[in-house]
Amino acid sequence: MPRNPDLALAVDVGGTKLATALVEADGTVTHRRSAATPQGDADTVWRALADQVRDLVAVAGTALTGVGIASAAPMDVRTGTVSPVNIPGWRGFPLVERVAALVPGLPVRLAGDAVCMALAEYHHGAGRGSDALLGMVVSTGIGGGFVFDGRAHLGAAGNAGHVGHFVLDPDGPLCPCGARGCSEAIASGPSMVRWALSQGWLPVGTADGLSLAASAHEGDRVALAAFHRSGEAVARVITVAAALCEVDRVVVGGGVAQAWDLLGPAIADSLDGWPGLDFMRRVDVLPALLGVDAGLVGAAALVRAPGSPAGGGVVAPREPAAPSAW
């Protein structure tokens, strides 16, 4: 069957929404589909996603090369199963097997959503030219993904890059993971809002990240302090990543990073004042360029060249078997 090697079906699975699209080799995203992630059991969530996949398989016809999946973590790429913290109905859910059944004979590949963001930015965005890249998503949670010499580093099961759970303050706020002082418990959007409220911030309207950013832009001292606190935590994550992996660039995306004029300077100031080794702070830190499409573009990159440095995590099919209010 003739196939166009420039076409992949990309899937982006998150706790808020399920998104799919057809993606060309240059990162062009077409035929987008999106729906809110339903509350319910495993099959309820699966049916919502399967409807989108079937629709795009029909659109692509014989031009489809394969399917790449960006999923919230944790996961096990060896078995193709996912257990996203923010999708309670999926625990050990055989996502690769289910998708593979909808595209017989085609490869289906899986990686974390933050890893896919990093891959997308490496190939098509602010990460181009980096030899050692960390992509960070700072939004309702915090995630990360590493790309070294053009290849995503997944770890044995696909969970490498969980920078949201670097413990920065053992006596800090409780994280949803159960630990205290994780970067996610300090620097994520909801954590920023909770801290600001505890410090006396009075939001205009809904108490969310967008409102917090608006207050900061108006000069509210508590709101500005919340962004400084978040930026300082992100900077600490960057120094740890630099110490471990000597990353040369960090690309930051997600809802909080949409207010880059607030977050970016806070990160830069914290890095400039870091008293540690020079290489731990001399890292290029840039805002992501691809926005909400990053997960889809990165998922497609998993399909492009899975066995080469341009590829990502691989799980072959088995037989049978508007800015958000962060």
Q: Where are the domains of the chain?
A: 7-113+292-304, 126-288
Q: Give the CA distances from residue 287 to residues 126, 136, 188, 193, 263, in Å, rounded to whole numbers and listed in that order.
A: 7, 10, 16, 21, 10
Which of 264 and 314 is assigned the larger pLDDT? 264
Beta-bridged to residue 12, according to DSSP, are: 19, 70
List, for residues 251-293, the tens digit of each pLDDT value. Answer: 999 999 999 999 999 999 999 988 778 888 889 999 999 988 9
pLDDT at 315: 36
pLDDT at 44: 97
Return d(Cα 5, Cα 303) in angstroms, integer: 10
Beta-bridged to residue 316, according to DSSP, are: none
The domain defined by 126-288 carries CATH number 3.30.2010.10: no
Q: What angle in degrees, to the nearest 10, is found between the helix axes of 42-60 and 95-102? A: 40
pLDDT at 305: 57
Q: What is the mean pLDDT of the chain?
A: 90
| Region class of 31: left (phi > 0), else alpha (psi between -120 and 50), else beta | left
List, for residues 208-218, the tens digit of each pLDDT value. Answer: 999 999 999 99
The domain defined by 7-113+292-304 carries CATH number 3.30.420.40: yes
DSSP 173: P
Residue 76: name the closest of 92, 87, 88 by CA.
92
Phi, psi (degrees; rounded to nearest 5) at 284? -70, 125
Whether 7-113+292-304 shares its CATH topology with 126-288 is answered: yes
Please state the pTM of the whole predicted model.
0.87
